[in-house]
Every structure is written in C-alpha cells, then in structure tokens.
Structure 1
Amino acid sequence: MRTPPLIRVPHLTPPPDKGRLGGVYPYIPYKRKLKEYARQNRKNPTQAEQKMWNILRREQFKRYKFTRQKPLDTFIADFYCAQLLLVIEIDGDTHAQQEEYDALRSDILKARYRIKVIRYTNLDVVQNIDGVYEDIYKQIRNLDKRPQQHGS
C-alpha cells in the first residue's frame, strides 16, 4: 500500500457553535463519500462503541467535544476530539494485514494533522471498561498539557 504524500493544514476553522469549547481548531479535509458511511455507522454502533460513547459523555470529559464516526482524510475515525487532536479507535478481531493498515492510518493522521491515535480492542472495552476509562483519562490529561500548535 502506497503512503499518500504529506500535506500541511494551513488554515483554521472555528467549531460550528462559534467556540463553545473556547478555541479554534484545524479543519481536517475528508472524502465527501465517507459522510454517508459515517452516518450509517453512527446509527448501528457495536456494543464496544456504545460503551465507549457512554464513557466519553461522562462528566469528567464534558469540556471536550467528541464526535462519533468522524470522517478524517480518507478514513472514518470511531471517535474524534478536535480540541485535543485525538482519535480513539476500537479494533475488532485483527490479523497482521489489518494491524498494518491500522498502523498506516495512525501514521498518516499523525504526520499530516498531528492527530494522536489511541487504540483499544473490542474485548478491552467490553470486559475492562474501567481500565479503558482510566487510560483515556490519563491520556487526555497529558494531551491537554501540550502546547497548542495550529496551522503550519
């Protein structure tokens, strides 16, 4: 699989609600055809995705706006927070080829847009939701401390 060329995101766009979260976040372009797939995915979440969504809507995360099934570039992220430039992915049963593809996706999002991708397995989310919650909380605290770098 060929890696697409790197591009810079030269402009910023405010959130649709004009900065309810107090900031301006980079616009991440995406393939328009992904929008309908993302909508279908939101209507039919897996058990693990529903549990994760319940976690991300808890009081501790209220200051961060997460979106489900967000088109980014040529991918659909399970969960995305523009404020933190964070993607959370829930991986199903994987084999070597899928793991390679997931790693490539993570590398592209990091290189092009400075997005951090964290991954959990379906099994972790379903059977160890408290551990997943604690890890997300720790990861977000660390990301929230990093200096903001918008634009190119």
Structure 2
Amino acid sequence: MKEILITINGIPIRRNFVENLPYNSYLKVLLKEKRKARILGEVLFWKKVRAKSFHAIDFDRQRIIGNYIVDFYVKALGLVIEIDGSSHDEKQIYDGIREEYLKSLGLFIFRITDFDVRNNLSVVMKELEDFIVLHYGTIPTTPSSKIS
C-alpha cells in the first residue's frame, strides 16, 4: 500500500509520486517567460495553493514535463492541474495529444477553465478537493468484529 500523504475530510490520501519524469531543458527560457506572463487565473489559483495552503499539499507552478510546460504540478500525487483559457479554444487536438502523453507517464490531469478560476474559485477548489479524494483517497478500514 502506498504511503498516506494527508487526510481530506477524514479520507486518507495516498502518495503517488511518479519517478524519473522526462525533462526538456530547452524549455527553460519559455518557462521563465510563462511565469512572468502572470495570467490572472493562474495568479488567483496560485494564491490559493502556494506555501502548502491547500490541505498542506505542495504545488509547483509552471513545471516542465517532457516537451510540455504544465500550469501546476503536485509531485507527491503525480497530479497536473491545467487552467484552460481562450488560447485552448483552437487546440483540442494538441491538448488531447498532450493529455494522453501525460497520462502515459502515470499522471492524473485536473482541467479547469480560466473563467471558472476567475469567477468561481471556491467551487474550483472544492472540485479539486473532490478530484483528489476520488483518485487518491482510500476508504479507511476498521478492524472487523469477530463473530462468535
């Protein structure tokens, strides 16, 4: 059984660290530019999760995985969080290929819209919490009673 990372609403959350993720060092320059861009939805989400402020989970912002830069990454869970803005409207095929690649590495992807982050952040955070419980949660077992 995988190590328990945290507990959310009484449900133990299993660690799902994915080792040896591919890394394209040529993307470092683009990564710095993306961090400076300060897209509103990403900034608002970052304020909610930075410094382990969301269930004591450590989030990375703008992480290189293979030939892609993901918006947010939780190493301990192998979880990618993507905030889709209007730039994704014409990129369904690209996004699908990218998502399949990330899943092939053993990662889970949680997608949200920039609109929802800007307008319904509390709902987004609850949906993220539910996603984590659904995909990483374990039902606590209680010792069974001996029937005599």
- The two structures share one fold, judged by TM-score above 0.5: yes
Alpha carbons 1:106, 1:116 under 8 Å: kept:
no
Alpha carbons 1:26, 1:82 under 8 Å: kept:
no
- Quote the offset at 1:48 in angstroms: 0.3
- Quote the offset at 1:61 in angstroms: 2.8
Q: 5+ residue gaps in structure 1?
A: 1-21, 147-152
Matches within 5 A, 1:125-136: 125-136=117-128
Q: 5+ residue gaps in structure 2?
A: 1-14, 139-148
Secondary structure of 1:60's counterpart equals coil
| Counterpart-to-counterpart distance in 1, 2:80 and 2:122 | 19
Alpha carbons 2:16, 2:78 under 8 Å: kept:
no
Percent identity over the alignment?
30
The corresponding residue for 1:33 is 26
| Counterpart-to-counterpart distance in 2, 1:56 and 1:142 | 19
User: In the alignment, residue 109 of structure 1 is paired with which amino acid?
Assistant: L
- Quote the offset at 1:27 in angstroms: 2.2
Alpha carbons 2:18, 2:107 under 8 Å: kept:
no
Q: Which runs of 4+ in 1 moved over 3 A?
A: 22-25
The corresponding residue for 2:35 is 42
- Tell me the C-alpha RMSD between the 2 structures: 2.0
User: In the alignment, residue 60 of structure 1 is paired with which amino acid?
Assistant: F
The corresponding residue for 1:116 is 108
| Counterpart-to-counterpart distance in 2, 1:48 and 1:24 | 26
TM-score of the aligned structures, taking structure 1 as reference length: 0.72
- Quote the offset at 1:138 in angstroms: 1.1
- Please say which structure displays the higher CA radius of gyration: 2
Q: Deviations over 1:103-126 (max 9, x none)?
A: 111111101x11111111111110
The corresponding residue for 1:100 is 93
User: Which of 129, 135, 142 is the equivalent residue of 1:137?
Assistant: 129
User: Which of 67, 70, 74 is the equivalent residue of 1:81?
Assistant: 74
User: Which of 55, 59, 78 is the equivalent residue of 2:53?
Assistant: 59
User: In the alignment, residue 44 of structure 2 is paired with which amino acid?
Assistant: K
- Quote the offset at 1:60 in angstroms: 3.3
Q: CA 1:140/1:23 → structure 2, altered by over 3 Å: closer, same or farther?
A: closer
- Quote the offset at 1:59 in angstroms: 3.0
